[in-house]
Amino acid sequence: MKLYHKIMIGLVLGVVAGLILGEKAAYLKPVGDIFIRCLRLIVVPLILSTLITGVVSTGNIRNLGKTGITTLVYFMATTTLAVLIGLLVANILQPGTGLTLGEMKTFNAPDPIGPAQMIVNMFPMNPMEALAKGNVLQIIIFALLFGAGLSMAGDAGKPVSRFFQSLAQVMFKVSDIVISFAPYGVFALIAWTTGKFGLDILLPMGKLIIAALIASVIHIFASYTLLVATVGRISPLDFLKKTLEPALVGLSTCSAAAAFPFSMRAQKQLGVSPKVSGFTLPMALTINMDGTALYQAVAATFIANAYGIDLTLTQQGTIVATAVLASVGTASIPGGGLIMLTMVLQSVGLPLEGIAIVAGVDRILDMFRTTTNIFGDNSAGVVVASLNGELDREVAATPLDEMELGSSVHVDKEGHLVDDLN
């Protein structure tokens, strides 16, 4: 039985266990927490080692710049499309219409961060602090600069390069160990979520949940698959099957970072060069926020409906611009999603207290957001690899049952990330 089969079984059994056990399912939560901790402990060294090794293996800063620009353009384009889809679905369904607000809770808005400060925050003053805090965007900036420096240092930098090559190899093996426990972690987390919230919470906020779900499904099954088919020229069905594993992990953990090792596996199975996936996936963790941006559009419309406010075309255009720009700068900030929604509401003059309305079902909505982000992360790798001539379509067309389970990425004698998947 393949790992993704076990994860799906764990997901279904977790829902059943949560409904049966109710609040007692909280006893299972420590198992899920340990699983998430193990996933997060490998993310920072994995990103650092693979990104530095990937930069060194290119041997050409110009090629790295081309990959970076292509990746950024793709993320901005799909994020814009996601917001537009969210607005379209929300305008059709009008999810907040007829909602009885009841007693409002007060909400203290965090101080907004300007675009200039967002850019400044990307650059670490102390790389050790960035590593300790897990500030992924700052780690990426440091890894890019450090990798470029190693390439320019020539023979003097080779001992250090070999260290990070060895670290990358070790982290791939550690990832295999942690990944093998995924079915049990997914089972525990879904059981706790279902036991805590049950089905009752879905009723009063049903239209908001349905609107977010429909918009996410449209973006995943229309936008991503169309881009993968037209630009990547691989089967959308193959793409969806091989991305299902990290998507299920993201659905249960609500963490794209936790799904990062699984996305690395999916990229190998999709035929994406490790040189490309080692760059696009770390970038995606902080910049690709399609699911979150889509949610901002749905949530803003929901809050406007609930307060009886009609959003003009100009206001909706402002939501698009604010959500796209905010998605780039807020990902690595603690509480970034909250700050992002605050910025969107402020941009069109909606009451910030409206955030308290959606807080009760935020966990459910976060599952949709994270799953959408993960599909977007993997589609980016396929598209960028195809444009750069780094996509192996024969591997992408190989059925999952004929592929090896373990990590097949390693570092060759010349220090390049290579993939022996068969």
Lowest mean pLDDT among 131-140, 157-166, 174-183, 288-297: 131-140
**Tens digits of residue pLDDT in 204-257:** 678 888 999 999 999 999 999 999 999 999 999 999 999 999 999 888 888 887
**Domain locations in the chain?**
3-405
Percentage of the residues of the chain whose pLDDT score is greater than 70: 82
Write out the two tokens for 95. Answer: 């999810």
Beta-carbon neighbour count of residue 213 at 10 Å? Answer: 17
pLDDT at 107: 45
Unique residue bearing structure tokens 């099954």: 221
Domain covering 3-405 in this structure, CATH number: 1.10.3860.10
Cα–Cα dist 258/201, whole Å: 26
Lowest mean pLDDT among 114-123, 185-194, 389-398: 114-123
Cα–Cα dist 47/150, whole Å: 17
Average pLDDT score over residue span 23-44:
86
C-alpha distances out from residue 302 to 102, 325, 350, 388, Å? 15, 21, 11, 41
